[in-house]
């Protein structure tokens, strides 16, 4: 009998689990399913900048061989320049690792960092990859609470109470998935103060850095040049190319404190040989045209902004449901009607009304009373989805 490794027994990633499989089955039966469970702009017809795709296409034939372990030099130079413009003045191309998406780099970063039993502080709710990656690396995830009543900002008192002598790292995520909260600079300064006092490594997930609405995103590492900090970013969300799997990780802090760790990351990265070469050619033009995101997508009248605002306005008006207004990303995280569990609400919504959303418990929110809804769908489809959700909420209330 072929048995899976025991370390997998507590892992889950339900965003591609039972409910999406049920949606596939219903579609095969001829049902009309509106999928609002994933953050994939391309799946909803939001196209990438031509400068990115044209450059990748141009370099395709010349990209068939292995590339450098850390990524193409010109791509890493573009990333380093991008961050230097945002305050990381000491960052150099050799401090950058490019990966096949941020997900791969999170796994590499934690495998290089953690010893068995080391604790990593993670936001709750939070993106489920982080907890799974900590466990796969032999560590223990410890969750600090984000507070719905403060717009889903971290509860600093709760965070402080969760730090033990086994803690080695603190994860930040702004703009935040699944709530869309953009953490203000005061919160980020508190994080750096805590990391400095407790000697914690900072890991900052900033994949939604340019998906903000009437808020200001701050690169966390800019506030802590004296601390080891890993900043994660990529093209999936800001440039609508999640299928390209282009992510990066920037290591900052005193080189005397980070050198050995950087060598360990490079060793692990070399085991996968190199990141996929073709899509790396799109990094330079993508970062040179970053203003496109801030105008075409999130600026006044931008595609993402308009769909986001329309969805929030419509959903916020549903009796029995409430939703803190997000300032970033492209998700809503509404509370389901009182007395109903998120998983039951989501399953019934899918079976009876043909709308696929993600239960909040998939994001380590143990209260199990919220769902995550993507706002990326086309206006008419979003309008229909909210109509179905309102009907479902009225039925179960």
In tens, the pLDDT along 313-342 reads 988 888 888 899 999 999 999 999 888 899
| pLDDT at 169 (0 to 100) | 98
pLDDT tier at 290, thresholds 50, 70, 90: confident
> pLDDT for 1-42, tens place per residue?
888 888 887 887 777 888 999 999 999 999 999 999 998 998
Three-state secondary-structure class, residue 122: strand
| pLDDT at 397 (0 to 100) | 65
Here the tokens at position 280 are 């790396």
| pLDDT at 93 (0 to 100) | 96
- Percent of the chain with pLDDT strictly greater than 70: 100
Where are the strands (E) in the chain, listed by range?
34-35, 96-100, 119-124, 140-147, 153-154, 167-173, 201-205, 229-234, 246-252, 331-332, 355-356, 358-359, 371-374
Q: Mention every residue, 6+ apart, whose C-beta is less than 8 A from residue 167.
A: 118, 119, 120, 121, 142, 198, 200
> pLDDT for 238-258, tens place per residue?
988 999 999 999 999 999 899
Compute the C-alpha angle 106/285/246, nearest 5°: 20
Residue 282 has pLDDT above 90, yes or no: yes
| pLDDT at 16 (0 to 100) | 82
CA atoms of 305 and 298, how far apart (whole Å): 5
> pLDDT for 266-276, tens place per residue?
999 999 999 99
Compare 79 and 367 and report the one with higher pLDDT.
Answer: 79
Where are the strands (E) in 174-281, listed by range?
201-205, 229-234, 246-252
- Percent of the chain with pLDDT strictly greater than 90: 81
Is the C-alpha dihedral spanning 221, 226, 229, 231 positive or negative?
A: positive
Closest listed residue to residue 180, CA positions, set 141, 218, 215:
215
| pLDDT at 394 (0 to 100) | 85
| Range in 79-83, 105-109, 298-302, 330-334 the model is least confident about | 298-302
Region 61-85 average pLDDT: 95
Compute the C-alpha angle 207/309/366, nearest 5°: 60
Helices 255-271/102-113 angle, 10° precision: 120
Strand 246-252 and strand 331-332: the pairing is unpaired
> pLDDT for 153-197, tens place per residue?
999 999 999 999 999 999 999 999 999 999 999 999 999 999 999
Compute the C-alpha angle 126/132/137, nearest 5°: 130
> pLDDT for 48-60, tens place per residue?
989 999 999 999 9
Using a cut of 0.85, tell me whether the model's pTM lies above it: yes
For 63-107, the DSSP string reads: G-S---TT--HHHHHHHHHHHHTTT-TT--GGGEEEEESHHHHHH
| Range in 192-206, 222-236, 279-293, 350-364 the model is least confident about | 279-293
| pLDDT at 242 (0 to 100) | 92
Domains of the chain, each with CATH number or no CATH = 10-39+300-396 (3.90.1150.10), 50-289 (3.40.640.10)
> pLDDT for 217-233, tens place per residue?
999 999 999 999 999 99
Q: What is the largest CA-CA distance in the chain?
A: 61
């Amino acid at each position: 009998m072929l048995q899976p490794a025991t370390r997998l027994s507590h892992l889950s990633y339900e965003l591609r689990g039972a409910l999406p499989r049920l949606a596939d089955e219903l579609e095969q039966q001829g049902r009309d399913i509106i999928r609002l469970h994933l953050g994939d702009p391309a799946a909803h017809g939001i196209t990438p900048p031509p400068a990115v795709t044209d450059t990748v296409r141009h370099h395709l034939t010349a990209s068939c061989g292995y590339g450098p372990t850390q990524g193409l030099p010109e791509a890493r130079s573009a990333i380093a320049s991008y961050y230097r413009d945002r305050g990381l003045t000491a960052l150099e191309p050799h401090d950058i690792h490019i990966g096949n998406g941020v997900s791969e780099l999170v796994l590499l970063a934690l495998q290089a960092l953690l010893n068995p039993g080391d604790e990593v502080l993670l936001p709750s709710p939070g993106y489920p990859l982080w907890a799974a990656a900590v466990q796969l690396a032999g560590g223990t995830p410890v969750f600090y609470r984000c507070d719905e009543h403060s717009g889903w900002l971290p509860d600093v008192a709760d965070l402080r109470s969760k730090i033990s002598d086994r803690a080695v790292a603190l994860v930040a995520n702004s703009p935040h998935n699944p709530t869309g909260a953009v953490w203000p600079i005061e919160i980020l300064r508190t994080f750096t103060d805590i990391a400095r006092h407790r000697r914690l490594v900072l890991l900052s997930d900033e994949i939604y850095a340019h998906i903000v609405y009437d808020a200001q995103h701050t690169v966390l590492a800019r506030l802590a040049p004296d601390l080891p900090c890993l900043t994660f970013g990529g093209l999936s969300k800001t440039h609508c190319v999640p299928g390209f799997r282009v992510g990066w990780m920037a290591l900052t802090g005193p080189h005397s404190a980070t050198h050995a760790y950087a060598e360990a990351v490079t060793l692990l990265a070399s085991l996968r040989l190199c990141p996929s070469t073709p899509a790396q050619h799109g990094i330079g033009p993508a970062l040179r045209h970053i203003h496109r995101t801030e105008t075409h997508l999130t600026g006044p009248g931008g595609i993402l902004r308009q769909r986001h605002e329309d969805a929030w306005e419509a959903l916020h008006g549903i009796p029995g449901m409430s939703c803190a207004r997000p300032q970033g990303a492209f998700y809503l995280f509404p509370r389901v009607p009182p007395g109903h569990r998120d998983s039951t609400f989501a399953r019934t919504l899918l079976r009876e009304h043909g709308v696929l959303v993600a239960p909040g418990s998939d994001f380590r929110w143990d209260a199990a009373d919220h769902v995550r809804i993507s706002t990326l769908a086309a206006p008419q489809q979003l309008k229909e989805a909210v109509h179905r959700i309102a009907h479902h909420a009225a039925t179960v209330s």
